[in-house]
Amino acid sequence: GIQVEQSPPDLILQEGANSTLRCNFSDSVNNLQWFHQNPWGQLINLFYIPSGTKQNGRLSATTVATERYSLLYISSSQTTDSGVYFCAHEATGTYKYIFGTGTRLKVLA
Amino acid sequence: GAVVSQHPSRVICKSGTSVKIECRSLDFQATTMFWYRQFPKQSLMLMATSNEGSKATYEQGVEKDKFLINHASLTLSTLTVTSAHPEDSSFYICSAQLVAVNEQFFGPGTRLTVL
Q: What residue in A sits closest to B91 (Cα-Cα)?
A: A41
Nearest to A47 by CA among A81, A7, A87: A87
Convert the pLDDT of each residue in B30-78 to its tens digit. 888 999 999 999 999 999 999 888 889 999 999 999 999 998 888 999 9
In B8-109, at which residue ranges do the beta strands (DSSP E only) sit? 10-13, 19-25, 32-38, 44-51, 57-58, 67-73, 76-81, 90-98, 103-106
User: Contact B105/A45, CB-based, under 8 Å?
Assistant: yes
Helix (H, G, I), strand (E, B) or coil at B56: coil
Q: Mean pLDDT across chain B, nearest whole number?
A: 93
Say which amino acid occupies A74.
I
Q: What is the pLDDT of residue B1?
A: 67
H or E element in which residue A96 lies: none
β-bridge mates for residue B95, sequence order: B34, B106
pLDDT of residue B8 exceeding 80: yes
- Of residues B98 and A6, the one with the higher pLDDT is A6
Contacts of B38 (CB under 8 A, 6+ apart): A41, B44, B45, B90, B91, B92, B93, B109
Most confident residue range from A70-84, A89-103, B48-62: A70-84
Percent of chain A with pLDDT over 70: 98
User: Contact B45/A35, CB-based, under 8 Å?
Assistant: no
Task: For residue A56, give the DSSP letter.
Answer: E
Q: What is the pLDDT of residue B109?
A: 97
Q: Of A64-78, A91-105, B7-21, which range is least confident?
A: A91-105
pLDDT of residue A2 exceeding 70: no
pLDDT of residue A3 exceeding 90: no
pLDDT of residue A95 exceeding 80: no
Q: How far apart are CA A65 and CA A58, in angstroms?
A: 23
Which residue out of A97, A101, A103, A104 would a mutagenesis test of the B interface target, given it has the greatest number of B Cβ atoms within 10 Å?
A97
User: Contact B109/A41, CB-based, under 8 Å?
Assistant: yes
Convert the pLDDT of each residue in A25-34 to its tens digit. 988 888 899 9
Out of B45, B97, B111, the one facing A95 most closely (by C-beta) is: B97
The DSSP annotation for A81-92 comes to: G-EEEEEEEE-T
Mean per-residue pLDDT for A60-88?
96
